[in-house]
Amino acid sequence: MIVDLPSSNTSAVNKKLVELRESGGVQAQGRVLTLVIVTDDGAGIESAIEAANTASHEHPCRVIVLARGARRAAARLDAQIRVGGDAGASEVIVLRGYGPLAGGEAGAGMVMPLLLPDAPVVAWWPAEAPAVPAEDPIGVLAQRRITDALSAKDPIKAFEQRRATHVAGDTDLTWTRLTQWRALLAAALDFPPHEEVTSALVVGEKVSPSTDLLAGWLATRLGVKVKRSPAAGGQGMTLVQLTRASGKVELSRPDGKTATLSQPGQPDRMIALARRGVPDCIAEELRRLDPDETYGEALAGVEAVSRGRSAVKV
């Protein structure tokens, strides 16, 4: 069910939510958090809502979408409420603000009356994020702040901003996309021989914040020299190579779908390792509301990574 409330206000939105709840269309019980999505009004809204709806099956929540409209317009708020089959296991409130209501303090003022009482708040910027999310009016309301450097117009610049302005509670989907890579590499080092890693090589697309971040993670966790090189082909991250006295542990994924794990003295293993979608990443991020200290350490570790200029073929 979709209910449109043109030229509305937050009081009217709250009143309509109560009416829907009393009529049995909305079940308020079981909402574990409020997810605030901040984006510009456009085609990207629906994909963000779809990702939130998918994640809501694991984390029932209230989703508030703050869609910033034209700034050179008269002040107006167009609201929309989605429940039932149009909202997954959540209730979705879309706020389209125009003119003075298109963002900043005004946006936070519209969101505040709609937050679930006594529930954590998570803010997510699916595309362009503020330079310092923790100081943004919406970011101040949130316990966790999720950005995505890869979806920004300039991923490298966005990633450098995340490194320079990181505070506890910040996270980025470039980190979440690495979960399976980190788990496989950690598991590989659990097998004998239990030797120290002496050096590491990480290969990926030239513009791949996740590749840079994995290199930083290895530098902090292993305390060894890590080299980050561009890939001659493939998408995203394509190869991680850990050197030990007995040989090299290699995890390669040239096609973006299937990886091969090679270890000395063991047969090669084929592993499904497709690139993770946004819904899967958002669902993972909503599983924890405490600061991700390992992510912060990985960001700091990027500084110690050396850069290779020659492209590496996998």
39 and 132 fall within a common domain? yes
23 and 129 fall within a common domain? yes
197 and 265 fall within a common domain? yes
- Is the pLDDT assigned to residue 4 strictly greater than 70? yes
DSSP assignment of 192-227 equals SS-----EEEEEE-SS-HHHHHHHHHHHHHH-SEEE
Task: Give how many domains the chain has, as a whole number.
Answer: 2
Is residue 155 one of the residues assigned to a domain? no
Q: Is 234 helix (H, G, I), strand (E, B) or coil?
A: coil
290 and 206 fall within a common domain? yes
Considering only residues 146 and 70, tell me which one the structure prediction assigns the higher pLDDT: 146
Is residue 170 one of the residues assigned to a domain? no
Is residue 164 one of the residues assigned to a domain? no
77 and 211 fall within a common domain? no
92 and 14 fall within a common domain? yes
- Please identify, among 91, 123, 147, the residue that sits at the C-terminal boundary of a domain: 147
* Cα radius of gyration (the chain): 22
110 and 234 fall within a common domain? no
208 and 298 fall within a common domain? yes
User: How high is the pLDDT of residue 29?
Assistant: 55
pLDDT in tens, 82-96: 987 766 767 899 999
30 and 81 fall within a common domain? yes
pLDDT in tens, 28-51: 456 889 999 999 887 789 999 999
Is residue 17 one of the residues assigned to a domain? yes
Angle formed by the axes of helices 155-165 and 293-301, nearest 10°: 120
Distance CA 94, CA 258 (A): 38
pLDDT in tens, 123-168: 999 999 999 999 999 999 999 999 999 999 999 999 999 999 999 9
123 and 188 fall within a common domain? no
C-beta separation of 257 from 218 below 8 A: no
C-beta separation of 201 from 229 below 8 A: yes
C-beta separation of 64 from 81 below 8 A: no
Is residue 49 one of the residues assigned to a domain? yes
- Domain hosting 206: range is 179-307
Is residue 32 one of the residues assigned to a domain? yes
pTM (predicted TM-score):
0.93
Q: Kindly report the average pLDDT of the chain as a whole number.
A: 92
224 and 88 fall within a common domain? no
193 and 296 fall within a common domain? yes
Is residue 152 one of the residues assigned to a domain? no
Is residue 50 one of the residues assigned to a domain? yes
